[in-house]
Amino acid sequence: MRAVGFNQNQPISSETALVDIDLPVPDAKGRDLLVEIKAISVNPVDTKTRKNAVLEPGQYKILGYDAAGVVKAVGPDVKLFKPGDEVYYAGAINRQGTNAEFHLVDERIVGAKPKTLSFEQAAALPLTAITAYETLFHRMRVQDKVASAWNAVLLIGSAGGVGSIAIQLLRELSDVTVIATASRPETQAWTQELGAHHVLDHSKPLAKQIADLAIGAPAFVFSITETSQHIGDILELIAPQGRLGLIDDPKEPVDVRQFKRKALSIHWETMFARPVFQTADMIEQHKLLNHVAELVDAGKIKTTLSDILGPINAANLKAAHALIESGKTRGKLVLSGF
C-alpha cells in the first residue's frame, strides 16, 4: 500500500522530511478495523511528532491522526462495525498513523461518519471534536456552574481547528456565554460566524478586555494555545473557584502555586490518553464521535474544513505541515485520496 512517512527528525524544508513509501497492507486483529482511507486532515500534533518522535533505525513512522474512510475488514472481536461502514476517527499516537491507503484502528475510538458530509468534510472533525468535547464536558465540566461566577467560557486562540469546533459545541450543548479570541480581521469574523457571543483580540491584554465587557469574571478558561504567554491575564480575569483547561505545552514553566489563591482547578487534556492507556472508558470516544455526527446531520454543527490541498502524498503533506507551522491557519487542512 502507498503511505507517507519519515525516518529522520528534520525541518519541513528538508527534501526528505516526509517521503512516499510502500508498505504491506496490515491485518485486522482483536477489536481493530482495517479502514481504507478516503481523506485525512493535518494537525499541530503531526508537526510536533515529526520533529520529536524517537525513531527505530531503518523504520518509518507514519503520521496522521484524523481520517475518514470505509471499513474493509474487521478483527474477530469487533462488535460495533462491519465491512462497508463509513467511519471517521483520530487514531492513537502510539500506533502508525492515517497517512496511508489502509489503516488499523481500535473500534472503540471510531465513530460512524456523518451522513451529510463528504469524506473530506468529515476528516476535518475527529481530533479537534474529541479534544474540545473531552476538555469542555469531561474534564472542565462546563455544564456544572461555578458559584458567583459569570457563566462564560473564554476560549484563547479559537480560530483554529479545536476552537472552531469548541465554539459550536458550547453553543449547542450548554448555556454558557462563549468568548472567543482571535487577532486578525478574518479570524475574528470566522469565530463570530461560528457563534461566539464576544470576540477579543489575544494580541492585547485579555484581562482588561474582559473587564471592559463589565459582565463579571468568567467561570471557565480554555487555553488552546500560548498558555504561558497569557497565564498572567488568566489568573487575573478568571473567577474564584474557576476551572482552567489547556491542551498546549507551555513554552515557559507555569507555577501552579499561583492557582491556590483563587482555589482554581487545572484540567490538562490530551485526547490520546484513553487509547494509549486503554482506559476502561475508552469507548467514550466512540460515543462522542457518534454524538457529534448526529449534531452535524441535524444541521447544528458544521465542518471546520478550510482547504483541500490535493491527494495524500509527501509533497502535499509537506505543504500542509509548513502551513500548520506558520501558525496562521484557519479551520482545518484536508488531503483527499491517493
pLDDT in tens, 303-316: 989 899 999 999 99
Q: Quote the CATH superfamily of domain 2-126+272-336.
A: Medium-chain alcohol dehydrogenases, catalytic domain (3.90.180.10)
Residue 42: in which H helix or E strand, if any?
strand 32-42
β-pair partners for 52: none
Q: What is the pTM of this model?
A: 0.94
CA pair distance 134, 119, nearest whole angstrom: 23
Task: Report the chain's terminal Cα–Cα distance, integer Å.
Answer: 10
Q: Quote the CATH superfamily of domain 145-268.
A: NAD(P)-binding Rossmann-like Domain (3.40.50.720)
Distances (CA, A) of 149 to 144, 176, 216: 12, 11, 7
Identify whether the C-beta of residue 78 lies closer than 8 Å to the C-beta of residue 107.
yes
pLDDT digits (tens, 9 = 90+) for 2-56: 999 999 999 999 999 999 999 999 999 999 999 999 999 999 999 999 999 988 8
Ramachandran bin of 331, using left for φ above 0, alpha for ψ from -120 to 50, beta for the remaining angles: left
Task: Name the H helices within 55-158.
Answer: 119-123, 126-133
pLDDT digits (tens, 9 = 90+) for 194-223: 999 999 999 999 999 999 999 999 999 999
Could you give the residue range(s) of every CATH 3.40.50.720 domain in the chain? Answer: 145-268
β-pair partners for 104: 34
Question: What does the radius of gyration of the chain's CA atoms come to, in whole angstroms?
Answer: 20
